[in-house]
């Protein structure tokens, strides 16, 4: 085996992120790299060829588990782990230190090592630094780890110091026990959350000839902010010319932050472990497929993803597999989750090479954090319980609507007639701001329009008024030189707005907002120096068919196709298209395939919109495809050949052929449409 090699080939301009190549006897690894975890010589549920096809170059295996079963003698006989598991690429093996840490009631730590009882057969074992290296030698891994004394990250300083110093002594014993210098050996920097201990640990270990250095003892009980602080601090203490490995950390935001600190290698069980719990990582945050909201959804798991799972299967199918306990469900989610992680790493490497990783990471972190950390879920548990009690009081009820409290503590409006909740999950303020006002770039439109002109917004589905008041607020906050806003709301039943005005504090409305909404209800219109807002009551389609001033932005937010089918047809979107100015965009909460088809056949270019609440994506449409951030592509079109895909009620028989002929889809369908595109 040739010795381990590492070289840095590119550095980012705005961060410490770097791109490198790790050379091993079983091939090179482009870094930053994520290693899928094959704990027991298997990335759970997936074939080695599948793992490789997803883009993985290196996997991790677990010394502790493989030592107990099948044991070192078998690996010596077959020539190591690669031949045993059918994986030809590089392998990193951990030392077993974390597994010993995870057995607090069944192990005893001493200077000699860790004594514990096997969960396989009840035998007593001693895992010493020498025994760990001997086992990793039998596995013939490309990178071995020293045995460390792993403790809770929040341990106090005396406990942390004792564990750190033992880790140092064990590291030197591990180094002395190595028999094949071609097997790389990484030391592990410990010290819990104490900066000076981390500094001391790094200084001690980097003075010895280890092939790389890991940051251990994180993601074991500490807050994210503290984990990021220690990661950034410790990374700067490690040598530039050696690979750096952040052990067991974890989520896409964790990886994005750590890459910016100059970390090269990562591993985590989350992509596969959470897949078996029905949880998927998507471009806009996590999705739990076991929830009832996905039962009838024909949407792809992640419209922005090109993995085999997203190209071929609907959320409804994945939900069914998980509920039916079919093993195919976790397998498909594992394929998606690993693709998501490995694609994130690939794009990060490209961004580093281009020198713009810092901007790339900021954009991805902003998008992920916005959807994984609900802005309405603030306050203490007592405050949330008090809010739920107040909303449940009889005074909060109206004849056709009621206020409800979501699981996050956000206030939302429910129709007692339709049974639907407006802005479910995230609450009206968050959805109105992110999905409609910000995504439409309304503030920029107002500021960039020529002086004396008017920007027109159609608000189809006034509801409780949150979207309209979000637009109204953006206009009122615009500079004096900005264009005026003409806001036209369409609604049949104003009961939701009437109820909201009895509880304006629950919707975050200031006195001026509430006054504008009250004037709209009383007079049918309200005007300020900057904004004109009027209400079109009655059937929205009939109102849209009248000679209205053309729109620059359309908020399409009526009840769903189940409750209000007429507003989700090709005919309805064609009417809206006739009222659209060049440059107009239409935004809606639905990501339904049928809705997207209706928009396309109604004359719109269609793309993936911002996520909201439990929805991993929504829909953005525009007069011009050039105004879309993420237009639908031929891969999305290919999925329409599946027999289970629903179509709009007024779809023509040749709908698929018409869609394929649209300029948005520049190339033809694959020869076998059921395969999608890859």
645, part of any domain: no
Average pLDDT over residues 234-238: 97
The pLDDT value given to residue 643 = 66
Q: DSSP 3-state assignment of 282?
A: strand
CATH for 76: 3.20.20.105
pLDDT, residue 474, reads 93
Residue 397 has pLDDT above 60, yes or no: no
Least confident of 131-135, 449-453, 594-598, 673-677: 673-677
> Of 595, 617, 632, which closes a domain?
632
Q: Is the pLDDT of residue 615 over 80?
A: no
Does residue 89 register a pLDDT over 50?
yes
Tell whether the model's pLDDT for residue 392 goes beyond 50.
Answer: no
CATH number at residue 581: 3.40.50.150
What is the distance between the alpha carbons of residues 407 and 412, in angstroms, rounded to a whole number? 11
CA distance 2 to 184: 10
User: How many structural domains does the chain have?
Assistant: 2
The answer, yes or no, to whether residue 419 has pLDDT greater than 90, is no
pTM: 0.58
Q: Where does a domain end: 223, 253, 268?
A: 268
Question: How many other CB atoms are there within 10 angstroms of residue 51's CB atom?
Answer: 22
Cβ atoms within 10 Å of 517's Cβ, excluding its own: 26
Please report, for residues 204, 296, 558, 593, the alpha-carbon distance to residue 562 in angstroms, rounded to integers and kept in the order given: 66, 12, 11, 14
Q: Binning pLDDT at 50, 70 and 90, where does residue 23 land?
A: very high
Highest mean pLDDT pick, 27-41, 419-433, 546-560 = 27-41
Q: Last residue of some domain: 268, 301, 328?
A: 268
Identify the pLDDT of residue 193: 94
Checking if the pLDDT of 676 tops 80, the result is no
Decide if pLDDT at 286 tops 80: yes
At residue 347, the pLDDT reads 97
Q: Which residues are catalytic?
A: 94, 267
Confidence check: pLDDT of 632 > 50 = yes
pLDDT of residue 165: 98
In the predicted model, what is the mean pLDDT of residues 224-250?
94
Report phi then psi at 138, rounded to 5: -65, -35
Task: Give the pLDDT band (50/70/90) at residue 574.
Answer: very high
Of 158-162, 170-174, 481-485, 542-546, the poorest mean pLDDT is in: 542-546
Characterize the bridge pairing of strands 212-215 and 184-189: parallel
Residue 379: inside a domain: no
pLDDT at 379: 37
Q: What is the mean pLDDT of residues 313-333?
A: 96
**Of 102-116, 467-481, 503-517, 646-660, which has the strongest mean pLDDT?**
467-481
Q: Are 108 and 101 in contact (CB under 8 A)?
A: no
| Within-domain flag for 574 | yes
Cα–Cα distance for residue pair 408/377, rounded to 1 Å: 5
Least trusted range by pLDDT, from 82-91, 245-254, 499-508, 613-622: 499-508
Question: Which range (364-373, 380-389, 435-444, 655-664) has the least confidence?
Answer: 380-389
Instruction: Please provide the average confidence, as pLDDT, over all residues in the chain.
Output: 87
Range of the domain at 164: 5-268
Distance, CA of 168 to CA of 173 (rounded, Å): 9
* DSSP character string of 154-187: T--HHHHHHHHHHHHHHHHHHHHH---TTSEEEE
Residue 119: per-residue pLDDT: 81
pLDDT classification of 389: cutoffs 50, 70, 90: very low
> Which string of DSSP letters, residue by residue, matches 313-382?
-BHHHHHHHHHTT-THHHHHHHHHHHHHHHHHHHHHHHHHHHT-HHHHHHHHHHHHHHHHS-TT--S-HH
pLDDT at 645: 74
pLDDT digits (tens, 9 = 90+) for 45-85: 999 999 999 999 999 999 999 999 999 999 999 999 999 99
Work out the number of other CB atoms within 10 angstroms of the CB of residue 491: 22
Does some domain include residue 18? yes
- Listed residue (585, 573, 595) closest to 626, CA to CA: 585
Q: Give the end-to-end CA distance of the chain in Å, rounded to a whole number.
A: 36
Q: What pLDDT sits at residue 393?
A: 38
At residue 671, does pLDDT exceed 80? no
pLDDT band at 376 (very low <50, low <70, confident <90, very high): very low
Q: Per the domain annotation, does 307 fall within a domain?
A: no
> Does residue 407 sit within a domain?
no
**Residue 279 has what pLDDT?**
93
Give the 3-state secondary structure of residue 233.
Answer: helix
Residue 504: inside a domain:
yes
Among 21-25, 118-122, 373-377, the range of highest mean pLDDT: 21-25
543 domain-assigned: yes
382-416 burial: b if 16+ Cβ within 10 Å, else e:
eebeebeeebeeeebeeeebbbbbbebbbbbbbbe
Q: Tens digits of per-residue pLDDT, 635-647?
A: 898 888 776 678 8
Give tens-digit pLDDT for 470-510: 999 999 999 989 999 999 999 988 888 888 888 776 666 66
Angle between helices 511-523 and 495-502 (to 10 degrees): 140
């Amino acid at each position: 085996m040739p010795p381990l090699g590492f070289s840095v080939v590119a550095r980012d301009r705005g961060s410490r992120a770097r791109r490198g190549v790790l050379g091993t006897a079983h091939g090179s690894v482009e870094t930053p790299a994520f290693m899928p975890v094959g704990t027991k010589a298997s990335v759970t549920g997936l074939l080695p060829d599948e793992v490789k096809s997803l883009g993985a170059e290196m996997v991790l295996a677990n010394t502790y588990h493989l030592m107990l079963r099948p044991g070192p003698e078998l690996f010596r006989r077959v020539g190591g782990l690669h031949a045993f598991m059918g994986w030809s690429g590089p392998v990193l093996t951990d030392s077993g230190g974390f597994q010993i840490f995870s057995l607090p009631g069944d192990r005893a730590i001493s200077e000699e090592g860790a004594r514990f009882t096997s969960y396989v057969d009840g035998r007593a074992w001693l895992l010493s630094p020498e025994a760990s290296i001997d086992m990793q030698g039998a596995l013939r891994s490309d990178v071995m780890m020293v045995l460390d004394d792993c403790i809770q990250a929040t341990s106090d300083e005396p406990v942390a110091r004792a564990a750190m110093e033992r880790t140092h002594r064990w590291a030197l014993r591990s180094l002395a026990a190595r028999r094949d210098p071609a097997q790389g050996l990484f030391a592990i920097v410990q010290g819990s959350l104490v900066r000076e201990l981390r500094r001391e640990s790094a200084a001690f270990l980097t003075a010895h000839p280890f092939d790389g250095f890991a940051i251990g003892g994180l993601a074991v009980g500490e807050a994210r902010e503290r984990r990021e602080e220690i990661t950034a601090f410790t990374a700067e203490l490690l040598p530039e010319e050696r690979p750096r490995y952040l052990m067991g950390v974890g989520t896409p935001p964790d990886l994005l932050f750590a890459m910016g600190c100059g970390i090269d290698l990562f591993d985590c069980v989350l992509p596969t472990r959470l897949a078996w719990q029905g949880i998927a990582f998507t471009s806009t945050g996590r999705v739990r497929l076991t929830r009832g909201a996905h039962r009838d959804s024909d949407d792809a798991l992640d419209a922005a993803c090109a993995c085999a799972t997203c190209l071929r299967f609907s959320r409804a199918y994945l939900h069914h597999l998980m509920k039916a306990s079919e093993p195919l469900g976790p397998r498909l989610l594992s394929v998606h989750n690993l693709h998501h992680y490995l694609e994130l790493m690939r794009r990060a490497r490209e961004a580093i090479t281009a020198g713009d990783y810092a901007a790339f990471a900021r954009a991805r972190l902003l998008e992920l954090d916005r959807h994984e950390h609900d802005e309405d879920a603030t306050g203490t548990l007592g405050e949330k319980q008090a809010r739920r009690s107040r909303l449940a009081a009889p005074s909060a009820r109206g004849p056709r609507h009621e206020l409800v409290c979501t699981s996050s503590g956000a206030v939302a409006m429910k129709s007692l007639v339709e049974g639907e909740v407006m802005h479910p999950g995230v609450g009206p303020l968050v959805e109105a701001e992110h999905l409609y006002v910000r995504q439409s770039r309304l503030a920029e439109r107002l500021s960039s329009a020529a002086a004396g002109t008017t920007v027109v917004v159609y608000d189809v589905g006034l509801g409780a008024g949150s979207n309209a008041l979000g637009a109204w607020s953006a206009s009122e906050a615009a500079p004096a030189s900005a264009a005026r806003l003409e806001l036209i709301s369409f609604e049949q039943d104003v009961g939701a707005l009437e109820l909201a005005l009895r509880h304006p504090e629950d919707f975050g409305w200031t006195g001026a907002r509430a006054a504008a909404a009250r004037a709209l209800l009383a007079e049918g219109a309200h005007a300020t120096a900057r904004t004109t807002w009027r209400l079109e009551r009655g059937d929205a389609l009939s109102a849209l068919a009248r000679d209205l001033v053309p729109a620059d932005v359309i908020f399409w937010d009526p009840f769903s196709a189940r409750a209000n089918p007429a507003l989700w047809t090709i005919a309805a979107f064609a009417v809206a298209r006739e009222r659209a100015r060049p440059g107009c965009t239409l935004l809606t909460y639905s990501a339904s395939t049928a809705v997207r088809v209706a928009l396309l056949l109604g004359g719109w270019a269609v793309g993936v919109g911002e996520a909201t609440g439990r929805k991993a994506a929504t829909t953005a449409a525009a007069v011009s495809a050039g105004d879309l951030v993420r237009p639908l592509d031929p891969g999305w079109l290919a999925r329409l050949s599946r027999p289970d895909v629903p179509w709009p009620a007024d779809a023509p028989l040749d709908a698929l052929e018409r869609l394929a002929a649209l300029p948005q889809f520049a190339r033809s369908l694959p020869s076998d449409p059921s395969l999608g595109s890859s």
